[in-house]
Amino acid sequence: MTAPAHSEELLRQVAALPTLPGVYRYFDAQDQVLYVGKAISLKKRVSSYFQKNHGGTRIGHMVSKIVRLETTVVRSEAEALLLENNLIKTLNPKYNILFRDDKSYPYLKMTATALDSGAPPKSGANPQSFSRVAYYRGGVEKKHHYFGPYPSAWAVKEAILLMQKVFRLRTCEDSIFSNRTRPCLLYQIKRCSGPCVGHISGQDYAQDVADAQKFLRGDAQEVMRSLESRMMAHAERLEFEQAAELRNQVAALSNVLHQQSVDNVSDRDVDILAVKVQGGKACVNLAMVRGGRHLGDRPYFPVHVEDAAVLMEDDEAPQDAAIEVEVQVLEAFLAQHYIGVPMPSMLVVSHPVGKALLSALSDQHGFKVTAVHQPREQRRAWLDMAQTNASLQLARLLAEEGSQQARTRALAEALDLAHEDLDALRIECFDISHTAGEATQASCVVFQHHAMQNAQYRRYNIADITPGDDYAAMRQVLTRRYSKTAEALAQAKHAGVAPSGNDRLPDLVLVDGGKGQVSMAREVFEQLGLDLSLIVGVEKGEGRKVGLEELVFADGREKVYLGMDSAALMLVAQIRDEAHRFAITGMRAQRARVRLSGGKLEEIPGVGPKRRAKLLQRFGGVRGVAMASAKDIASVDGISIELAEEIYRALH
């Protein structure tokens, strides 16, 4: 196979590249980014793509699509690495290993107090004098204290419970704190020291906060010694009640240290990363140790692993030496994940990491980042745990994907859907939701690539129909969804060209309903000149029991019952239920907005805020006003008979 032909302009651009480090981007004819790569020498690296004969390989397939090139020259390999991964996350190229931008880690937050600024704590139950412990997610403020990040919300809540058990710190909102006249239940069960009602002084509470912060930073033994010292001091002064409180704190802390095995751990903050690759998929398991405590882990699943691995192997390897796919996945994760995210200085990794990457991470974060590949003792135990979890999570993913693919295949066979590429099979499902005709909404959910495609979901506000008329609502949503598609298909047919991807009809249109809804869908498709065989209704079975649904067809075929254990029916039910969920949540939100704002009332001349408030109060909402007669409306104070008739006409 000969090398693919490229434009002379592109080849001249390649020939003119400098022998400097930088980052390059390849684009296809649709101006979509194919690949982002880095190079110590742009000229040498990029030229190799166009000089070699890659044949029918994945690289050759990618090179054949290149029509345009962009490059950026940088000062060093470290800069190139950081820029490369910033661009990968921004541009989402097809042939790079890509991790989702999931950095929304939760933190444990301790609010700042007057004591933090050097001022003495105020007397009385002032919430600004007593730090609050809270779950937090979002941008941090310098004045407060944040601990983490934690891998999950559960881990933060466990830490908060620990702060309550050992240090008895408050978790209540400031507004609740300010209005307490007696201690709450948390005080009764010894989860709070009761600062809201003066059961602890500001100085003693501040000491507990300081001890809690030391513990979270990993100074557990220092906190233990401090508590024991204070306990003995109170005992010597015959202050046995205070000594008993500290004794209980010591016991609680000792129990925690024993349970979590943190009393003999020298590492304070460590991230442990293990990689597992199998069946064209990969999993990176990230476990976090903060303050010497193992906080849990989180799995990450990159995309484009197979294609990217081949390209990176050719792109990165010195003297054509092969690079393990696991190393490529791990380095891609490190480079992408820690961009703009706090990280510890110590990493424990399942595979060796390149020095250039560690240097780039060190430059970005302002301290030396070290990676240990073959750890011992406690670090080895952590890594073994992470590797086990990576294997389990990847096995779960493969099992789920295999199950979903089997469901898609079963549905295609059951409905005789001729589709060579099951991964591209597209199903759209519609549902109508309202409450007695109020706030009618239609939903359209999409199933493709063996999964629900949330980003392609759509909601439609249904208007100008008789309230509660589901058939009219279905007619409206199908017309709005497919009229432009039908027009584009007709134009493409007239021009004798194939329709573009955006104008393609789905392979199956599901409607939640039986013969009535299917008949309405058939009318819409007949008017638009579309294929009736695409429409399938999901009719509820006897007693509306799940698993007894029957499929109704718009093209005249007999109804089909797939069977309660059918994988095809399971997929249909999954899509139908998702459409119902999406419709009902939209309807509830719309109904709440209507009831809150007064709906059409605010658009009626002569009905201002005061009159609208009186109407809503009298009739309990817009729906109540709409059901009232003009005479009933006129009985509201400030509403004349003429205005009442105008309101009645506007709402009907």
Tens of pLDDT, residues 460-489: 988 888 878 889 999 999 999 999 889 888
Distances in whole angstroms, Cα of residue 471 to Cα of each of 245, 284, 626: 69, 49, 22
> What is the C-alpha to C-alpha distance for residues 567 and 404, in angstroms, rounded to an integer?
9
At position 470, the amino acid (one-letter code) is D
pLDDT band at 349 (very low <50, low <70, confident <90, very high): very high
What pLDDT shows up at residue 262? 42
**For 415-557, where are the alpha helices, taking DSSP H only?**
470-495, 515-528
pLDDT band at 255 (very low <50, low <70, confident <90, very high): low
Tens of pLDDT, residues 210-245: 888 888 887 777 777 777 777 888 788 787 877 787
Cα 378 from chain centroid (whole Å): 32
pLDDT over 60 (residue 38):
yes
* CB within 8 Å of 122: residues ≥ 6 apart: 114, 128, 129, 202
Tens of pLDDT, residues 104-146: 678 889 998 866 655 555 545 678 889 999 988 877 777 888 8
Phi, psi of 432 (to 5 degrees): -115, 140
**pLDDT > 90: percent of the chain:** 20
What pLDDT shows up at residue 320? 37
The H-or-E segment that residue 95 falls in is none
Structural domains of the chain, with CATH = 8-91 (3.40.1440.10), 107-260 (no CATH), 270-395 (3.30.420), 422-433+459-588 (3.30.420.340), 598-651 (1.10.150.20)
Distances in whole angstroms, Cα of residue 125 to Cα of each of 148, 164, 193, 288: 29, 19, 13, 37
Mean pLDDT of the chain: 82
> What is the C-alpha to C-alpha distance for residues 649 and 647, in angstroms, rounded to an integer?
5
The H-or-E segment that residue 628 falls in is none
pLDDT over 80 (residue 436):
no
What pLDDT shows up at residue 101? 61
Tens of pLDDT, residues 608-642: 878 887 887 777 667 778 778 888 888 888 888 88
Tens of pLDDT, residues 44-75: 989 988 887 766 666 778 888 899 999 999 98
At position 231, the amino acid (one-letter code) is M
Longest Cα–Cα distance in the chain: 99
Angle between helices 240-260 and 220-236 (to 10 degrees): 160
Choose among 473, 470, 550, 478: nearest CA to 509: 478
Distances in whole angstroms, Cα of residue 444 to Cα of each of 360, 447, 533, 585: 45, 10, 19, 13
499: preceding bond cis by omega (within 30 degrees)? no
Quick one: 543 exposed, middle or buried, by C-beta within 10 A (0-12, 13-18, 19+)? exposed
Choose among 340, 525, 594, 587: nearest CA to 603: 594
Cα Rg of the chain, angstroms: 32
- SS3 sequence of 233-248: HHHHCCCHHHHHHHHH
Q: Are 568 and 414 in contact (CB under 8 A)?
A: yes
Cα angle at 261 between 258 and 267, to 5 degrees?
A: 140
Only one residue has tokens 């007695």, namely 436
How is residue 208 written in tokens?
Answer: 């507990």
- Average pLDDT, integer, range 517-544: 88
pLDDT band at 605 (very low <50, low <70, confident <90, very high): confident
Tens of pLDDT, residues 267-325: 778 999 999 988 778 999 999 888 777 888 889 988 878 766 566 555 544 433 346 88
> What is the C-alpha to C-alpha distance for residues 291 and 269, in angstroms, rounded to an integer?
6
